[in-house]
Amino acid sequence: MQLVRFIAGAVFLTAGLLACIVGVIGVFKFRYAANRMHAAAINDTLGISLCMIGLAILAPDIASALKMLLVVVFFWISAPVASHLLCRLEIETNEERDRYMELHVIEGTEAAGDPLQETEAEGPENADGTELPKDAGETAEDNVRTETVDSEKGERI
């Protein structure tokens, strides 16, 4: 039984180490910050979690193993949320984001040619069709969104 626990723990530790190596290579290889954050998140969610599961298998008692598994659950909850928030902040504040990604204009707000040029629309509207105040949405840039919308409910996620 000890040999089976040792082999299972070694397999998880090795898989976690390989995931961490891939994540570190990705951090140095990618040029865009969002891609680097994704590679770094692999270290948090996959690499460290696999290592902690391997250590939990090799733990001498149940209490230590449960504490390590609790750390894994905390990593699974917190790391994706934190990396998503950092990536969203980087996308919204990066002035050169069009070099790295495409911006999609919300339906009904397209301008002829460049979506960031001024439009000659009758009046700015929200995504649900309601009118915005007079001073809002003077250019098409105000109507370009990088948000996720639930297609069934039509609500922001």
DSSP string, the chain: -HHHHHHHHHHHHHHHHHHHHHHHHHHHH--SHHHHHHHHHHIIIIIIHHHHHHHHHH-SSHHHHHHHHHHHHHHHHHHHHHHHHHHHHHHHH-TTGGGTS---BPTT---SS-TTS----SS-B-TTSPBPPTTS--SGGGGB----B-TTT--B-
pLDDT of 30: 86
pLDDT of 34: 80
Question: The tokens of 137 are what?
Answer: 């949405």
pLDDT of 131: 62
- Higher-confidence residue of 10 and 118: namely 10
- Higher-confidence residue of 68 and 94: namely 68
Q: Which residues contact 105 (CB under 8 A, 6 or more apart)?
A: 111, 115, 140, 143, 144
Q: How many CB atoms lie within 10 A of CB 143?
A: 23
**Mean predicted confidence (pLDDT) in 124-144:** 53
- Higher-confidence residue of 48 and 144: namely 48
- Higher-confidence residue of 117 and 87: namely 87
pTM, two decimal places: 0.58
Question: What band does 45 get if pLDDT is binned at 50, 70 and 90?
Answer: confident
pLDDT of 56: 94
CA gap 135, 133 in Å, rounded: 6
Q: Which residues contact 152 (CB under 8 A, 6 or more apart)?
A: none
pLDDT digits (tens, 9 = 90+) for 82-110: 888 888 888 788 777 777 666 666 676 55
